[in-house]
Amino acid sequence: MRKIAVANGDGIGPEIMQAVLHIFNAANVPLQYDFVDMGKWVFDKGFSNGMTPEAQETIEKVGILFKGPMETPKGKGVKSVNVTARKTWNTYANKRVFQTLHGVDTVFSKAGIPIDITIVRENIEDTYGGIEHMLTQDVALSRRFITRPGSLQVIKYAFEMAKKKGATRVTCGHKANIMKLTDGLFLDTFYEVAKEYPELKSDDIIVDDLAMKLVVRPHEFDVVVMTNLQGDIISDLCAGLVGGLGFAPSANIGDHIAIFEAVHGTAPDIAGRNIANPTALLLSGITMLRHLGLMQSAATIENALLYTLEQGVRTGDFGDKSKEAKNTTDFAEAIIGNFGQNPQHAPKPMLPDMPVTQTIFKLEGNPMLGKKAIHEATIVGVDMFIESAEQPNVVAEKCLRYTTDLFKLVTISNRGTQVWPKGSIFTNLVNQYACRFESIGEIAVTQTDIIELYKRLATEFKICSTELLNVWDGRKAYSLAQGQ
Ligand code: NAI
């Protein structure tokens, strides 16, 4: 029998996992469960990544993790085990399906507007790298990594999944009008991949417009692919469209390991009371069954769940408040009692998402290390991020005093807005400037030239950080300051 790893999770996790596995067992799902230790209590035992080495070994061996929500202990130094798991095992695509469920009333269901949106969220990169530094006591910096190989992986998954799902449209949500290099890279990659799928309509939309249009005309969207943070926020918005977090399943898909979980967290406010709604975890479990090719089990359980919801059976967090709410256990029993029933509103049949993982994988060669070819790469300057509480003209005067013959000071910005040589007295300043030095005559300079400049400036300023100004095949690989 196929083995999967199961982690109960924290808060309501054990209650909803027990309910879901009870439903699986009643349906004779041919799976064997290897329970693994992950979550808050594992942190508390001193395992700094929130899982035991045995848990990691089991998950890497079986390739599938079905997990309840897990709490991230508040405080410094401990990272979320949920994010660690997604990143460690390169589950690069987070698929979240939001469908109208009959019996779960929303403004859209009442208006007869059906919703079937799949958000594919990049799951590894972006600000979720958690690479953050205090540059000065007043200024924090987060590094937002968007990479071409990382974008390629998730966008390819989105198109492949859209094809299998029978979708007609794939939309890229982004903010490339502002973040021209990071979101610009994601968007360029999207259209590069889109060329391979001419049968699917591909388009893009700026994320703020997307948020508005999803609320006004959600039925117009089909598959939407996005970077990590924007995808996280937009998918919670979509959860709201179909009745809330209790109905939002999630699959974290990688090439070798996949993790299935609900979108919601540990719900500490209702934990231990047997009143949580297990639907989101059950929907995640149904996605997992399809992923494993267990189509019949998935259909039996899904039909019973949809039929149960159509009958108005509810937990306390949704539905017709005039009807009595069932507790978690009784809700699961109601679903089991409806095995064999067919809902009035049947879902579209689904094909398995990805090839089934059966063995231990060893990565031979790293396909992520491929890079786009460039013919000519030059360094034409450097941004020096310095700490100073002085006025821009004073900072400029000092920079000019310490610069070397190779460089000219071209601009100084504060929080991304140019404040020298031109600026406005109304621009508010913090104690950290970016001083841009470009090579005179735009000639190529070396890192040693930059170190020389660094040494001289360091006699006057505390330099918090530096970034090279690269030019690749004649294109600037850096942004301009606002107003430059
Ligand atoms: P939450 O999703 O746990 O709760 C938000 C609200 O929704 C609460 O009022 C809760 O009672 C309700 N709710 C959530 N799931 C429900 C369910 N199945 N049935 C009925 N009501 C439900 O979000 P919150 O409070 O921000 O996070 C609590 C903890 O969960 C935090 O430690 C957080 O880090 C963790 N978390 C873990 C996630 C995961 O394991 N993937 C995801 C999100 C949060």
Q: End-to-end alpha-carbon separation of the chain, Å?
A: 64
Ligand 1 pocket, Cβ-based, cut-off 6 angstroms: 12, 69-72, 82, 245-246, 261, 264-270, 276-277, 280, 317
| Alpha carbon of 391 to ligand 1 centroid (Å) | 46
d(CA 422, CA 426): 12
- Which of 233, 264, 281, 329 has most ligand 1 atoms within 8 Å of CB, for mutation? 264
Q: Whose CA is nearest to atom 4 of ligand 1?
A: 267
Statement: residue 164 has pLDDT above 90: no
- Looking at the structure, tell me whether residues 77 and 191 fall in a common domain: no
Name the nearest CA neighbour of 238 among 106, 127, 56, 435: 106
Q: Tell me: the pLDDT tens digits for 48-106? A: 889 999 999 999 999 999 999 999 877 656 778 888 888 889 899 999 999 988 888 89
Assigned domain for 439 exists: yes
Statement: residue 362 has pLDDT above 50: no
* % of the chain exceeding 70 in pLDDT: 94
| Alpha carbon of 39 to ligand 1 centroid (Å) | 14
* Whether the model pTM is above 0.85: yes
Q: Whose CA is nearest to atom 9 of ligand 1?
A: 267
Which pLDDT value is given to residue 357? 43
Assigned domain for 334 exists: yes
- Looking at the structure, tell me whether residues 77 and 144 fall in a common domain: no
Which pLDDT value is given to residue 356? 41
- Looking at the structure, tell me whether residues 217 and 107 fall in a common domain: yes
- Residue at which a domain ends, from 323, 338, 370: 370
| Alpha carbon of 266 to ligand 1 centroid (Å) | 4
Model confidence at 360, pLDDT cuts 50, 70, 90, reads: very low
Which pLDDT value is given to residue 361? 42
* % of the chain exceeding 90 in pLDDT: 78
- Which of 261, 266, 279, 331 has most ligand 1 atoms within 8 Å of CB, for mutation? 266
- Higher model confidence: residue 78 or residue 220? 220
- Looking at the structure, tell me whether residues 238 and 297 fall in a common domain: no
Across 399-408, average pLDDT: 94
Across 187-195, average pLDDT: 97
| Alpha carbon of 71 to ligand 1 centroid (Å) | 9
Ligand 1 atom nearest 279 alpha carbon = 18
Q: Which range (124-128, 226-230, 391-395) has the least confidence? A: 124-128
Q: What is the 3-state secondary structure (H, E, C) of the chain?
A: CEEEEEECCCCCHHHHHHHHHHHHHHCCCCEEEEECCECHHHHHCCCCCCECHHHHHHHHHHCEEEECCCCCCCCCCCCCHHHHHHHHCCCCEEEEEEECCCCCCCHHHHCCCCCEEEEEEECCCEHHHCCEEEEECCEEEECCECCHHHHHHHHHHHHHHHHHHCCCEEEEEECCCCCCCHHHHHHHHHHHHHCCCCCCEEEEEEHHHHHHHHHHCHHHCCEEEECHHHHHHHHHHHHHHCCCHHHCEEEEECCCCEEEEECCCCCCCCCCCCCCCCHHHHHHHHHHHHHCCCHHHHHHHHHHHHHHHHCCCCCCCCCCCCCCCCCHHHHHHHHHHCCCCCCCCCCCCCCCCCCCCCCCCCCCCCHHHCCCCCCCEEEEEEEEEEECCCCHHHHHHHHHHHCCCCEEEEEEEECCEEEECCCCCCCCCCCEEEEEEEEHHHCCCCHHHHHHHHHHHHCCCEEEEEEEEEEECCEECCCCCECC
Per the structure, the count of domains in the chain is 3
Across 32-44, average pLDDT: 93
- Looking at the structure, tell me whether residues 114 and 239 fall in a common domain: yes
Which pLDDT value is given to residue 365? 57
- Looking at the structure, tell me whether residues 121 and 192 fall in a common domain: yes
- Looking at the structure, tell me whether residues 149 and 243 fall in a common domain: yes
- Higher model confidence: residue 72 or residue 397? 397
- Which of 12, 94, 245 has most ligand 1 atoms within 8 Å of CB, for mutation? 245
Assigned domain for 483 exists: no
Q: Whose CA is nearest to atom 41 of ligand 1?
A: 69
Which pLDDT value is given to residue 350? 47
- Residue at which a domain ends, from 347, 370, 393: 370
Structural domain of residue 355, as residue ranges? 1-92+254-281+290-370
- Higher model confidence: residue 63 or residue 359? 63
Across 218-233, average pLDDT: 96
Ligand 1 atom nearest 12 alpha carbon = 18
Statement: residue 371 has pLDDT above 90: no
Average pLDDT over the chain, rounded to an integer: 91
Q: Whose CA is nearest to atom 43 of ligand 1?
A: 265
Q: Whose CA is nearest to atom 42 of ligand 1?
A: 265
Q: Which range (223-237, 248-262, 352-366, 463-477) has the least confidence? A: 352-366
- Looking at the structure, tell me whether residues 247 and 323 fall in a common domain: no
- Looking at the structure, tell me whether residues 88 and 168 fall in a common domain: no
Which pLDDT value is given to residue 442? 85
CATH number of the domain to which 307 belongs: 3.40.718.10
